[in-house]
């Protein structure tokens, strides 16, 4: 009932459409009752009194009734489906917005396919369930009520006999509906698994091809798809199980009515025309009752999907503005970590980090993989909140300022080079929505991207495809740098921005980065130590702690972890050069 009430709350803005659909449904249902009611007197008039006038107009009346019935069905279906589509649109928008409000910890605990499935498949199941329920209540419910009125009017004794079987359908409907609700949740989870595989394989197709993993991927997909079929088979089984049960129960009522009604007709207690009218109404009344049962099953599936959707909608974002948060404007760019510690679950990732960086200063972070470098810089824009200690920007605790204004002071360039299926200009413009073409071009020139963009078929209007697949690694990275330049923030985070590039591309990107880092507080995470030799300060992180810090010359002069890392890379470079 809680999920049902919440669904109803989304329909408030569309009651006019729903009312029109409901009235049209009632017209359809009422016509069934009217047809059953008038069949008896019309037959008497035609065959007993030989009334040819009624007989002549009867075909026209039938055409008019069915035309009006068809029009009512059209209005019902149109306004009902558009209303539910608008409701689903609102739910999907809210669900997407809730996802976007979540922190990185949430996305790290959820598969992309599961999140996609809830936004796409679960909402569709909800829509179909809502349509089925509202159609059932108004069209089939009114039709059943009207026809029940007719049969009670014609002969209340026979009506009671036929009506007694209807309560017998309630128990199996409840049991089947409850089972369908559970199966719906599980089948939607399996659909999420399928979506995850599709997302992983399509985005990682190059690796799959390179390692000849096509057959393995196919087998994995088949296995997951089979798991989805198993749940859908159960859904089909239980969904259709109600049909033979309903047929058997209604046959008991029909058989009893035929028996007792036949006796009444043969004994003269009831006319054949009245009995025919009664049988017609009774035969018609079982059809909407069966549809109501089917609507109930669909609605149970709807509730199963709705619960999954509301689970996400009800999740509270981990990273939110404090009630008294203040805007952060025109910052200098000073960043301070004061005794900062951070953990995921029970595992400590950072311990007792204290450091300061001032405007124009380049602070490099190096160390073994898993040392906490990316997590450390992620605390500045509040991708995560510290477990202990405080991170400050210009003396303000980042948790005490408005998140949107904090993010407006920080630009990020990382190794993933996240680009969108859009034009080159718009991908750069993500750094400053609404930027002019002149500003976009200036940022591209500073990032050494203007020349290759100008050679594209449509220049800045060239669409670069999904994740920028039509660009080289160096080109993608320079577009990301142009985006950061356009944002023009006092704080810059570079997370292994050149790690995946060849030497020529790296040099071009490094030149662009040099332009980007001017007069900014810059944090650089580097795998290639050659890219951070000119850093003002180098911090060496190992197992979440700062084990060394200083300039390159100072650290090389010590017999510490940095020297060990640098020597290993230097030897590898010498070996590669000698081999060439």
Residue where a domain stops, chosen among 313, 339, 371: 313
For the domain that residue 250 is a member of, what is the CATH number? 1.20.1560.10
Three-state DSSP class for residue 171: helix
**Does residue 105 sit within a domain?**
yes
- Residues 238 and 372 both lie in one domain: no
What's the whole-number mean pLDDT along residues 141-149?
Answer: 72
Cα–Cα distances (Å) from 517 to 337, 365, 382, 425, 468, in that order, read 21, 15, 21, 22, 24
Is 555 a member of any domain? Answer: yes
- Burial class of residue 510 (count of CB atoms within 10 Å of its CB; 0-12, 13-18, 19+): middle
User: Is residue 419 in a domain?
Assistant: no
Quick one: 386 and 306 in the same domain?
A: no
* 382, 296: one domain: no
Handedness of CA 89, 91, 96, 97 (dihedral sign): positive
Total number of domains constituting the chain: 2
Token representation of residue 20: 């029109």
Q: What percent of the chain has pLDDT over 90?
A: 6
Q: Are 10 and 146 contained in the same domain?
A: yes
Q: Are residues 302 and 362 both part of a single domain?
A: no
Using the predicted structure, report yes or no on whether residue 579 has a pLDDT greater than 60.
Answer: no
Q: Which of 117-121, 157-161, 170-174, 459-463 has the highest mean pLDDT?
A: 459-463
Q: Which residue has the tokens 């006319």?
A: 271
Higher pLDDT, 457 or 185: 457
User: 362 lies in a domain?
Assistant: yes
Identify the domain boundary among 282, 313, 344.
313
264 lies in the same domain as 395? no
**Most confident stretch, 80-84, 178-182, 290-294:** 80-84
Using CA atoms, how far residue 446 sits from 345, 428, 484, in Å, is: 42, 12, 11
Q: Are residues 257 and 377 in the same domain?
A: no
Kindly indicate the confidence band of residue 577, based on its pLDDT and cuts at 50, 70 and 90: very low
* Residue 267 confidence (pLDDT): 79
Beta carbons within 8 Å of 380's beta carbon, 6+ residues apart: 335, 391, 393, 398, 410, 491, 493, 523
Measured CA to CA, the distance from residue 543 to residue 316 in angstroms comes to 31
Under the banding of pLDDT at 50, 70 and 90, the label for residue 574 is very low
pLDDT, position 338: 93
Report the CATH number that the domain containing residue 546 is assigned in CATH: 3.40.50.300
pLDDT at 576: 44
- Note whether 291 and 336 are same-domain residues: no
Per-residue model confidence (pLDDT) at position 505? 60
Residue 33 and residue 100 in one domain: yes
First to last CA, the chain: 73
Answer yes or no: are the C-beta atoms of 449 and 552 closer than 8 Å. Answer: no
pLDDT at 526: 79
- Same domain for 392 and 245: no
pLDDT, one tens digit per residue, over 330-359 is 778 899 999 999 988 788 899 999 999 998
Per cent of the chain over pLDDT 70 is 80
Can you read off the two tokens belonging to residue 560? 């510490």
Of the candidate ranges 317-326, 405-414, 529-538, the one whose mean pLDDT is the lowest? 529-538
What's the chain's average pLDDT?
78
Same domain, 298 and 367: no
What is the reported pLDDT for 397?
Answer: 92
Lowest mean pLDDT among 103-112, 218-227, 419-428: 103-112
Identify the domain containing residue 174 by its residue range: 2-190+227-313
Question: Which of the listed residues 313, 341, 361 is the one where a domain comes to its end?
Answer: 313
**Domain-embedded: residue 111:** yes
- Highest-confidence range of 286-290, 337-341, 409-413, by mean pLDDT? 337-341
Question: What was the pLDDT predicted at 504?
Answer: 57
More confident residue, 35 or 92: 92
pLDDT in tens, 361-375: 889 898 888 888 888
- Decide if 444 is inside a domain: no
Mean pLDDT of 191-212: 71
Compare 138 and 24 and report the one with higher pLDDT.
Answer: 24
- Asked, for residue 211, whether it belongs to a domain, the answer is no
Give the lowest-confidence range in 174-178, 461-465, 523-527. Answer: 174-178
Which one is predicted more confidently, 22 or 551? 551
Local structure of 94: helix, strand or coil:
helix
Residue 490 has pLDDT above 60, yes or no: yes
Identify the pLDDT of residue 35. 64
Please tell me the predicted confidence (pLDDT) of residue 77. Answer: 81
CA-based max dimension of the chain: 120
Bridge partners of 467?
none
Whether residue 306 is found in the same domain as residue 370: no
Assess if residue 342 is contained within a domain.
yes
């Amino acid at each position: 009932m809680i999920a049902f009430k919440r669904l109803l709350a989304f329909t408030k803005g569309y009651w006019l459409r729903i009312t029109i659909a409901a009235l049209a449904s009632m017209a359809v249902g009422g016509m069934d009752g009217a047809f059953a009611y008038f069949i008896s007197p019309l037959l008497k008039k035609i065959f007993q009194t030989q009334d040819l006038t009624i007989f002549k107009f009867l075909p026209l009346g039938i055409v008019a009734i069915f035309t009006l019935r068809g029009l009512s069905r059209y209005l019902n279906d149109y306004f009902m489906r558009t209303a539910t589509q608008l409701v689903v649109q609102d739910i999907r928008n809210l669900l997407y917005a809730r996802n976007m409000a979540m922190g990185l910890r949430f996305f790290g605990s959820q598969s992309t396919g599961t999140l996609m499935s809830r936004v796409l498949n679960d909402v569709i199941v909800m829509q179909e369930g809502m349509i089925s329920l509202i159609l059932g209540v108004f069209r089939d419910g009114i039709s059943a009520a009207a026809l029940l009125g007719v049969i009670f009017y014609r002969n209340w004794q026979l009506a009671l006999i036929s009506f007694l079987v209807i309560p017998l359908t309630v128990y199996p409907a409840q049991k089947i509906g409850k089972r369908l609700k559970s199966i719906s949740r599980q089948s939607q989870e399996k659909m999420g698994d399928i979506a995850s595989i599709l997302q992983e394989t399509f985005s990682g197709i190059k690796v799959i091809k390179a390692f000849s993993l096509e057959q393995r991927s196919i087998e994995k997909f088949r296995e997951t798809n089979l798991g989805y079929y198993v749940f859908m088979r159960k859904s089909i089984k239980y969904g259709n199980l109600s049909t033979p049960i309903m047929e058997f129960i209604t046959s008991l009522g029909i058989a009893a009515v035929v028996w007792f009604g036949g006796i009444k007709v043969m004994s003269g207690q009831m006319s054949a025309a009245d009995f025919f009218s009664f049988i017609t109404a009774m035969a018609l009344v079982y059809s909407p009752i069966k549809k109501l049962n089917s609507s109930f099953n669909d609605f149970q599936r709807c509730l199963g999907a709705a619960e999954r959707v509301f689970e996400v909608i009800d999740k509270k974002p981990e990273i939110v503005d404090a009630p008294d948060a203040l805007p952060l404007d025109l910052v200098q760019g000073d960043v301070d970590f004061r005794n900062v510690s951070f953990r995921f679950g029970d595992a400590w990732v950072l311990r007792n980090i204290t450091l300061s960086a001032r405007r124009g200063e380049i602070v490099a972070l190096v160390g073994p993989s898993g040392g906490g470098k990316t997590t450390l810089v992620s605390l500045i824009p509040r991708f995560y909140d510290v477990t202990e200690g405080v991170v400050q920007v210009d003396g303000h605790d980042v948790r005490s300022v408005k998140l949107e204004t904090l993010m407006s002071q920080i630009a990020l360039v990382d190794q993933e080079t996240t680009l969108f299926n859009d034009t080159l200009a718009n991908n750069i413009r993500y750094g400053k929505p609404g930027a002019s073409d002149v500003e976009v071009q200036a940022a591209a020139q500073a990032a050494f991207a203007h020349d290759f963009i100008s050679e594209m078929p449509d220049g800045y209007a060239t669409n670069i495809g999904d994740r920028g697949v039509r660009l080289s690694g160096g080109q993608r990275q320079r577009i990301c740098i142009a985006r950061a330049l356009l944002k023009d923030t006092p704080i810059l985070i570079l997370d292994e921005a050149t790690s995946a590039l060849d030497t020529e591309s790296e040099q071009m990107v490094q030149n662009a980065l040099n332009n980007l880092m001017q007069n900014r507080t810059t944090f650089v995470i580097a795998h290639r130590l050659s890219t951070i030799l000119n850093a003002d300060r180098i911090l060496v992180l190992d197992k979440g702690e700062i084990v060394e810090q200083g300039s390159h010359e100072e650290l090389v002069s010590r017999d510490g972890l940095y020297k060990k890392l640098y020597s290993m890379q230097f030897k590898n470079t010498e070996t590669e050069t000698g081999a060439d």
